């Protein structure tokens, strides 16, 4: 796979999450922690609201990158740190913005650095996905 | 796998369209990169169910996640995961627990290792989620 240059933006997308998105992810993943769909439970444990699953945010971020790569691209690794939660308002949902840039290139791989924000706050840090060249 | 792809907004055709996956060299549709979490989660549930694990979900925060791939998961794979706790670090009154779920296929070949770091709050604090 050719053509990765450090600094290039390879993908950018804003994904709108709603409570339905959270229920869908709960069902597809099997993670039914009620803080992801019940306001009363979220409030009882001191959260600012119902939160998106961290793994939903991580998963949608890689979807943005994978859609921009050839279908046969091989991933080497993908890691994130979860720093801030994404609060999903019952009426207005939440927008998650994903920006993917080439962070480093060596002889065998390219490292894609992801900037993932919700409401102008960075929600994933050290979000890096490495692709084999 | 298609439901999972839809849930994580994975709109690349190889996740849902067998012909597109086969054109890219795969036997069947390809799982999105974070799908291995579903398998790792089954092993973590076993750990949490141990009466002496000391991990209570309501006080647990998912702090970090990493996947290291040998190949993607494709539909039809028969996978086995083995979880090992690789690190426990005290952090104030909390514990940072690192675990690796090593996923192998029916031939015993490595597919992916999923690494989770969980931050588990102590009994005296009830506020973490």
Helix H or strand E encompassing A25: helix A19-29
The closest of B58, B38, B39 to B48, measured between CA atoms, is B58
Domain of residue A76 covers 9-132
Domain of residue B96 covers 33-120
A6: closest CA of chain B, how far (Å): 22
- Number of domains making up chain A: 1
How does pLDDT run across A73-118, given as a tens digit for each residue?
A: 999 999 999 999 999 999 999 999 999 999 999 999 999 999 999 9
**Which chain B residues are Cβ-neighbours of A71 within 8 angstroms?**
12-14, 20-21, 23-24
Predicted pLDDT at B60: 85
- Number of domains making up chain B: 1
Report how far residue B33's alpha carbon sits from residue A37's, in angstroms, rounded to the nearest whole number: 24
**Which chain B residues are Cβ-neighbours of A75 within 8 angstroms?**
33, 67, 69, 72
Report how far residue B45's alpha carbon sits from residue B41's, in angstroms, rounded to the nearest whole number: 6
Contact A89, A19 (CB under 8 A): no
How does pLDDT run across A19-66, given as a tens digit for each residue?
A: 999 999 999 999 999 999 999 999 998 999 999 999 999 999 999 999
**DSSP state string for B21-73:** HHHTT-SSPBPPGGGHHHHHHHHHHHHHHSTTS---GGGEEEEEEEEEESS--
Task: Return the bridge partners of A100, or none.
Answer: A11, A114
> What CATH number does residue A121 fall under?
3.10.129.10
Q: Could you report the predicted ipTM of this complex, rounded to two decimals?
A: 0.95
Contact A97, A83 (CB under 8 A): no
A2 within some domain: no
B94 within some domain: yes
B20 within some domain: no
Q: In a 10 Å sphere around its CB, with 0-12 CB exposed, 13-18 middle and 19+ buried, how is residue B107 labelled?
A: exposed
| φ/ψ of residue A117, rounded to 5 | -130, 150
Predicted pLDDT at B123: 64
- Structure pTM? 0.94
User: Rounded to the nearest 10 degrees, how much is the dihedral formed by the CA atoms of B24, B26, B30, B36?
Assistant: -130
């Amino acid at each position: 796979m050719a053509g990765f240059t450090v600094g290039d933006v390879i993908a950018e997308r804003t994904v709108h999450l709603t409570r339905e998105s959270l229920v869908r992810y709960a069902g597809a993943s099997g993670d039914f922690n009620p803080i992801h769909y019940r306001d009363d439970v979220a409030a009882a444990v001191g959260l600012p609201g119902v939160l998106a699953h961290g793994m939903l945010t991580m998963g949608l971020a890689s979807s943005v990158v994978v859609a921009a790569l050839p279908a046969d691209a091989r991933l080497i690794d993908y890691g994130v740190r979860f720093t801030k939660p994404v609060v999903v308002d019952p009426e207005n949902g939440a927008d998650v913005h994903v920006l993917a840039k080439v962070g480093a290139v060596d002889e065998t791989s390219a490292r894609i650095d992801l900037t993932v924000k919700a409401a102008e706050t960075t929600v994933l840090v050290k979000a890096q996905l490495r692709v084999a060249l | 796998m298609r439901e999972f792809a839809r849930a994580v907004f994975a709109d690349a055709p190889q996740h849902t369209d067998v012909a597109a996956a086969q054109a890219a060299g795969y036997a069947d549709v390809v799982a999105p990169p974070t799908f291995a979490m579903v398998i790792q989660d089954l092993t973590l549930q076993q750990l949490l169910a141990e009466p002496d694990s000391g991990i209570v979900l309501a006080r647990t925060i998912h702090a970090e996640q990493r996947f290291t791939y040998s190949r993607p998961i494709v539909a039809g794979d028969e996978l086995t995961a083995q979880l090992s706790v690789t690190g426990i670090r005290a952090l104030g009154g909390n514990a940072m627990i690192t675990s690796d779920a090593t996923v192998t296929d029916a031939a015993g070949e490595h597919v992916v290792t999923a690494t989770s770091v969980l931050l588990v709050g102590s009994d005296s604090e009830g506020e973490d989620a």
